[in-house]
Every structure is written in structure tokens, then in C-alpha cells.
């Protein structure tokens, strides 16, 4: 029987992790759900691919940092095959003088740092304590629909007063520090906190990963607080066994176990709107699916402007969505390696960490300036993982795969990418060679994904990974716009459930919370 001939209570558009999570929760609540995905495979940028025969890698995103354990348990992901090769993956900032820094307050890590710089060892303990305090105060805002913005009596104003109250409960110094940190740049914060250039640059990178901002951009200190608040639900970054595609496979199995009908290769042409009510979808093949609720995990701008159409929207909302910034700033390099690169000063067990390759802050800032001009910098900040160290099945015995996220790579470069792609690749390999001199000789095959490649491969506008930049003016009640912040849209029966909605990140929370809102309104209807 064709899907168009079946009756459904809910339609979910898009088979990324948020769409799958939303479909699971709807079906778990007893709804008849169909999920339709334009691509031939689920997951979007959460995918495991082959670099070369027998060398497997997480193609784009390579870590689970923000999915709550609660979602894992409620959707029975372990029962459906999800295993982790590593939990609580530590971050290690690589040093050119081979004295690498682990960004933690474990006794042995602090002792090693203290031998190098006693001031910064004490400062790190205080800094991470303050960061946890601020993240704890912010955390409740990320676990529910964001407050509505408005005047002094609005939900947002009430929420801000609660944030102030929580911060005061944590202590006056913490409260004052939070007010200081919210509008500040991460560069200013680390400059006044640490003496060591490597420690400054490492925490700046932690705040800026995946953003189109620089270390001295206002509000970037908030990025770090926000990211840590999301991570409080997960207890650390994790590597799924089998790569990120394994998470999607577990979500697929979970969805089907709850009764979700999944159809891939079925692009939606439009969302059907009748008298201000979303009543279903039409696919590009001419099938019509009807349901009283439709949830879209597609980019909010594409959902509202392309699938619904500006004619069904308030002109102001349509204009704001059209102007939403989409600046991809991250490239991805995947490498197949003959053997493990030799990184002097790194112990065998530390090869499984997140390895941060970061230039000093002044060079980091210059890289951002070059990015804004559409130029390639001389130095790039990078996050490197070698997942085959903890998940041997990803590569042949004795061989490895390496995953590299490269910060501040522009979507367009002067003269076009045809003559610059190899230049970028060589600069990245040259930078890595400072820490692992034998890496070039070990490369068997590789795959470089520029922001434009990420756009083409995964349908992410501008090569921007989050369907809306993760910066203060596009978070909380402003994500993706004040009118759409609580997953509802101006159209009855249509909800937004993707990464472009609150709280963002690879969390699944947008899918879960949107499903909760849709179910609550369905019960009232």
C-alpha cells in the first residue's frame, strides 16, 4: 500500500536526528507517524562514510556532545544497537614544544600544569568552577521551550529574572561574573584569566568551534557557557561505535519499533495550507499525505519560505527569516592513514582524545579577519580525532582514520576554490606535521569537504552546520525568530523541530520538545 493511501496522525519532514527523535516521541505517545526524507539515506550530516575501501569515518559531525542520556534511555537506543567506543572524551591542546595540556581538573593534569605554570593551574580550577556555575544557572532554559520575548511582563523578562536569581543563589561573585561574561568576548575573558598562550587559545577555540565569529567578537564568552550548559545533560563528548551513522541507525530502529513509517527519497514539494491550517504535504512525485499535525526538521527558513511560502506569512516574519545569517565557517578533512602518526609527548591512551590544534590568540584573530575577507589564513584552529584508536573496526588492522574540523574556512574565496582547495589541504597537513612529522607519509587517501561541499552534500544552506548560527542573537527566544521560538508557527498544525530551533546542537532536544508541544496542542484540539 502506498503511503498516500494510509492514514496518519502526524507527518515529520526530514530524517536527521531531530526528525527521528520527534517521530519516536510522537509514535511512543500512540500517534500514527510517517517520516519522509528527501535523500536516499537518513541522518543528514550525521553519517558514517567510506574514505577508501575499509576505511570508515564520521563524514561531517564526529562527536555526540549534547544528547541527554534521558533521550537515549527513553528511546531505548542501546537496545536498538547504539554503543559508544568512548565516553567523556577529554580535550588536549597540542603544544609545539611537546608539553600538551589536558583541559581538566583531574589531579594528575593539574599537577602537570602546575609544574609548567602554577598561576594557570590555580586559575584553571577557578575558571572551570565559574563556567560550571554559569552553565548550571542557564541549564533549565535549555530543557524546555524558550520563553517568549516581549515587554517587562513577558516570559523572557521573567526568565531573565529567574536566571539572575539562580546566579545570586550561587554566590555574589558568581552573579557579578555572569553579568560580566554574558556580553564579553571569549578573548577578553581568557586574556584576563590565563598567562599561557596555549591555554588562552584552547578555551577560545572551545567557544568558537563551528561559529563564524572571532575570539574578540562580542558575546562569544556566552557561547562557551551555552555549550557547557548543553553538555551538563551528557557528561561529556562521546564517540559512537561505528561513527555518527550508528546513532542514526539506532534512532531508525527505535522509530520503527514504535511504529513509525519511514520513506526516503521522497522530497517534499510544499506544505499544504488551507485557511491558515497546515493539513499535510505534497511530494515532488505528486503524492499527497494528510495529517492534523506536521513537524518539519528542515531549516526553519527553508520550511517557512520555500515549503509554506511567504504569501502565508506575516511580511515582517518573512523578511526576518530571509535575512537570517548563514555563514559556514568550518571545513572537514577525513584521512585514511597507514599506521598511527607519531605525536611526541602524547601518551598512547591520549591518542583517543579530542586533539586541539590552536594558534596563539593574535594569529587566531588574524585567521578570523582573513575569513571575513574571503581569504585563506596562514594558520587554522582545528579539532582532530583519531576514532580508530578506540574503535578498531573503522580501519584495517594497524591502520587508522583521522577526522579534522578546520575553523574559519570561508564559503567563497577570491579567485574561486578551484585553485585554492589544494592550497588549503597543504596548509592543514603542514600544520599537523609540526606535531606529527610523519603524517604526510602515512596518508593513503583523503576527502576534503569545504563549506560549499557541505551545502551540496547535506543540504545545509551556506555550509552552515546548525541551520542558524549559534550566537547570542540567534539563541533561546530568538531561535530562529521570536514568533517561531516555541516550535509553533503561525499556521495551525505546523511545528518546527530541527537544529535551527532551540536549543540547537546535536542534542535531539529540539525534536523532543517540538513533539511535546505538538502533542499537548493535539490533546487540546
* CATH code for the domain in which residue 317 is found: 3.50.50.60
On whether residue 59 sits in a domain, the answer given is no
Instruction: Tell me the three cell numbers of residue 367.
Output: 585567521
CA distance 320 to 481: 7
Same domain? 75 vs 114: no
CA distance 391 to 368: 34
Same domain? 108 vs 205: yes
Same domain? 336 vs 317: no
Between 15-24, 184-193, 214-223, 323-332, the lowest mean confidence (pLDDT) is in 323-332
Q: Is the pLDDT of residue 258 over 80?
A: yes
CA distance 501 to 513: 10
Higher-confidence position of 37 and 140: 37
Same domain? 384 vs 478: no
User: Dihedral sign, CA of 434, 435, 437, 442?
Assistant: negative
Give the CA distances from residue 304 to residues 39, 264, 325, in Å, rounded to whole numbers and listed in that order: 20, 22, 16
Higher-confidence position of 310 and 478: 310
* Residues making up the chain, counted from first to last: 525
- 3-state class of 64 per DSSP? strand
From 174, 203, 218, give the residue that closes a domain.
Answer: 218
Assess contact for 300 and 480: CB atoms under 8 A: yes
Q: Average per-residue pLDDT in the chain?
A: 90
On whether residue 363 sits in a domain, the answer given is yes
CA distance 286 to 302: 20
Q: Is the pLDDT of residue 116 over 70?
A: yes
Assess contact for 47 and 58: CB atoms under 8 A: yes
Assess contact for 487 and 497: CB atoms under 8 A: yes
From 218, 233, 255, give the residue that closes a domain.
Answer: 218
| High-pLDDT (> 70) share of the chain, % | 92
pLDDT at residue 153, rounded to an integer = 44
Same domain? 319 vs 404: no
Same domain? 72 vs 132: no
Terminal C-alpha separation, the chain:
29
348 burial (CB, 10 Å; 0-12 / 13-18 / 19+) is exposed
- Is there a cis peptide before residue 480, judged by omega within 30 degrees of 0? yes
On whether residue 18 sits in a domain, the answer given is yes
Mean pLDDT of 130-150: 78
Same domain? 343 vs 286: no
Same domain? 372 vs 424: yes
Mean pLDDT of 207-218: 93
Same domain? 387 vs 439: yes
Cβ partners under 8 Å of residue 161, min gap 6: none
Same domain? 197 vs 255: no
CA distance 189 to 187: 5
Between 300-309, 313-322, 346-355, the lowest mean confidence (pLDDT) is in 313-322
On whether residue 75 sits in a domain, the answer given is yes
106 φ/ψ angles, rounded to the nearest 5 degrees: -60, 150
The alpha-helical segments, DSSP class H, found in 171-314 are 172-181, 186-193, 197-208, 220-231, 244-257, 300-301
On whether residue 95 sits in a domain, the answer given is no
Instruction: Tell me the three cell numbers of residue 244.
Output: 555518527
From 218, 252, 270, give the residue that closes a domain.
Answer: 218
Segments forming the whole domain that contains residue 403? 330-409+412-449
Compute CA 429 distance to the chain's CA centroid, rounded to the nearest angstrom.
Answer: 25
On whether residue 190 sits in a domain, the answer given is yes
Assess contact for 403 and 440: CB atoms under 8 A: no
How many other CB atoms are there within 10 angstroms of residue 334's CB atom?
Answer: 24
pLDDT tens profile 479-522? 888 888 889 999 999 999 999 898 888 899 999 999 999 999 86
User: How many domains, the chain?
Assistant: 3
CA distance 204 to 360: 10
On whether residue 224 sits in a domain, the answer given is no
CA-angle at 179, arms to 173 and 184, nearest 5°: 120
Same domain? 481 vs 433: no
Assess contact for 487 and 518: CB atoms under 8 A: yes
Same domain? 418 vs 360: yes
On whether residue 51 sits in a domain, the answer given is no
Amino acid at each position: 500500500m502506498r503511503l498516500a493511501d494510509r492514514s496518519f496522525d502526524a507527518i515529520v519532514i526530514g530524517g536527521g536526528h531531530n526528525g527521528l527523535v520527534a517521530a519516536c516521541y510522537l509514535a511512543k505517545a500512540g500517534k500514527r507517524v510517517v517520516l519522509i526524507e528527501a535523500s536516499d539515506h537518513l541522518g543528514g550530516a550525521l553519517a558514517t562514510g567510506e574514505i577508501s575501501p575499509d576505511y570508515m569515518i564520521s563524514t561531517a559531525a564526529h562527536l555526540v556532545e549534547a544528547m541527554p542520556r534521558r533521550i537515549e534511555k527513553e528511546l531505548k537506543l542501546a537496545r536498538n544497537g547504539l554503543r559508544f567506543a568512548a565516553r567523556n572524551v577529554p580535550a588536549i591542546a597540542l603544544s609545539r614544544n611537546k608539553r600538551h595540556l589536558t583541559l581538566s581538573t583531574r589531579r594528575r593534569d593539574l599537577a602537570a600544569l602546575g609544574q609548567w605554570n602554577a598561576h594557570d593551574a590555580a586559575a584553571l580550577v577557578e575558571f572551570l568552577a565559574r563556567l560550571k556555575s554559569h552553565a548550571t544557572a542557564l541549564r533549565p532554559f535549555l530543557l524546555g521551550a524558550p520563553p517568549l520575548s516581549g515587554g517587562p511582563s513577558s516570559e523572557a523578562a521573567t526568565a531573565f529574572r529567574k536566571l539572575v536569581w539562580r546566579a545570586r543563589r550561587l554566590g555574589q561573585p558568581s552573579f557579578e561574573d555572569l553579568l560580566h561574561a554574558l556580553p564579553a568576548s571569549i578573548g577578553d575573558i581568557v586574556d584576563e584569566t590565563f598567562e599561557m598562550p596555549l591555554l588562552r587559545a584552547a578555551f577560545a577555540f572551545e567557544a568558537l568551534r563551528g561559529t563564524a565569529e572571532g575570539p574578540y567578537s562580542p558575546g562569544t564568552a556566552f557561547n562557551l557557557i551555552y555549550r557547557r550548559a548543553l553538555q551538563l545533560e551528557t557528561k561529556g563528548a562521546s564517540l559512537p561505535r561505528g561513527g555518527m551513522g550508528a546513532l542514526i541507525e539506532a534512532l531508525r530502529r527505535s522509530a520503527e519499533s514504535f511504529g513509525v513509517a519511514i520513506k526516503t527519497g521522497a522530497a517534499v514539494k510544499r506544505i499544504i495550507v488551507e485557511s491558515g491550517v497546515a493539513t499535510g504535504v505534497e511530494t515532488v512525485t505528486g503524492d499527497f499525505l494528510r495529517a492534523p499535525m506536521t513537524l518539519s526538521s528542515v531549516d526553519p527558513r527553508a520550511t517557512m519560505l520555500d515549503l509554506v511560502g511567504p504569501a502565508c506569512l506575516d511580511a515582517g516574519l518573512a523578511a526576518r527569516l530571509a535575512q537570517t545569517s548563514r555563514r559556514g565557517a568550518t571545513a572537514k578533512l577525513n584521512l585514511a592513514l597507514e599506521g598511527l602518526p607519531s605525536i611526541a609527548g602524547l601518551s598512547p591512551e591520549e591518542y583517543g582524545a579530542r586533539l586541539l590544534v590552536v594558534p596563539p590568540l593574535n594569529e587566531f584573530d588574524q585567521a578570523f579577519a582573513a575569513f571575513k575577507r574571503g581569504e585563506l589564513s596562514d594558520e587554522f584552529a582545528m579539532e582532530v580525532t583519531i576514532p580508530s584508536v578506540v574503535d578498531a573496526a573503522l580501519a584495517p588492522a594497524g591502520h587508522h582514520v583521522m577526522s579534522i574540523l578546520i575553523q574559519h574556512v570561508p564559503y567563497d574565496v577570491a579567485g574561486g576554490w578551484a585553485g585554492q582547495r589544494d592550497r588549503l589541504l597543504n596548509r592543514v597537513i603542514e600544520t599537523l606535521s609540526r606535531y606529527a612529522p610523519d603524517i604526510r607519509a602515512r596518508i593513503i587517501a583523503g576527502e576534503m569537504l569545504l563549506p560549499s561541499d557541505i551545502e551540496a552534500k547535506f543540504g545545509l544552506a551556506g555550509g552552515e552546520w546548525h541551520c542558524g548560527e549559534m550566537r547570542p542573537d540567534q539563541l533561546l527566544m530568538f531561535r530562529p525568530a521570536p514568533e517561531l521560538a516555541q516550535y509553533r508557527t503561525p499556521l495551525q498544525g505546523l511545528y518546527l523541530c530541527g537544529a535551527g530551533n532551540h536549543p540547537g546542537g546535536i542534542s535531539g532536544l529540539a525534536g523532543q520538545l517540538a513533539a511535546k508541544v505538538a502533542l499537548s496542542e493535539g490533546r487540546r484540539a
